[in-house]
Structure 1
Amino acid sequence: MTEPTATQPVTVATYTDYPTAQRAVDYLSDNGFPVDRVSIVGTNVRLVENVLGRLTTGRAAAAGALSGGWFGLFVGLLLSIFTTGSSWWAVLVAAVLIGVVWGAIFGGVGHAMTRGQRDFTSVKSLEAAEYGISVPADLADEARAQLTRMTWNASQSS
């Protein structure tokens, strides 16, 4: 096996969760380490989809109405800039109501067209089994020393 060059990345520490790896990099930053040369590398990455609940046509229409309302508010605000007199609020309200109605229609019809192929809502995320802190080989000893101090200081304060 060949010796790494000064710029090749070397893993100096590994953690089981991302927030701990993030705290380690923050510790390095607080202690003057050149963190612009640090990487957090997740290994054994998997996709996790957490199911939040059942999705009905009514819920899809409600979500569409909410989304359409926000879009209508945006459009209404833009149009009200060019409205003279005191009728600007009527333009704003009309745009929001139109957005709500069309959003509900598109949300409900869009869900109904799937014919039950996906009747649930979910949130997807990527999770890694392990998070490694990588630095260029020429900085590895310094990073290891600082992270060892971090671990030692944490054990002393608890």
Structure 2
Amino acid sequence: MISTGEPHLITGSDIDDLVTRVRLNGPRGPEHGAALAAELDAARAFLCSPGDPDPAVARLVRRRLVVIALRHGGALLAKLLTRLTARETAMVRRYAHRLANFLDTPENWAAQPIMLHLMRIGLCYAEAEDIAVTVLMFVW
């Protein structure tokens, strides 16, 4: 089940929530608190500025925000998960860090690699397909 209401509604408050979560979590994993908070502030300024940002750059920024949301949770991840079934949501939550690590590589942002990765970690084809398409539609 894929809900396709709005393609990408990443708001300033979603990014502010991520900044708060990053600061609360402190330096963990490949990201460090202060540098990541600065990156998120720049993303907020870019996406929330008046006018139309370059679509290709905006997609890259949204990709990065999704990866950070998978690692730290929050309102942005909740928006993504509302487009999935309960079982798919549970699987994304269970494997969020593994999915974030996989999506940290730009070459992996296509449906087939995401699906194959999800199937390798134990999801069935239909669930992997729904999750991959939802993630891609969310940033597109």
TM bin, normalised by shorter chain, reads under 0.3
Please give the TM-score of this superposition, normalised by the length of structure 1. 0.24
The structure in which a higher percent of residues are helix is: 2
Q: Please identify which structure carries the higher strand content.
A: 1
TM-score by length of 2: 0.27
Higher RCO (Cα < 8 Å, 6 or more apart): 1
Q: Which has the larger radius of gyration?
A: 1
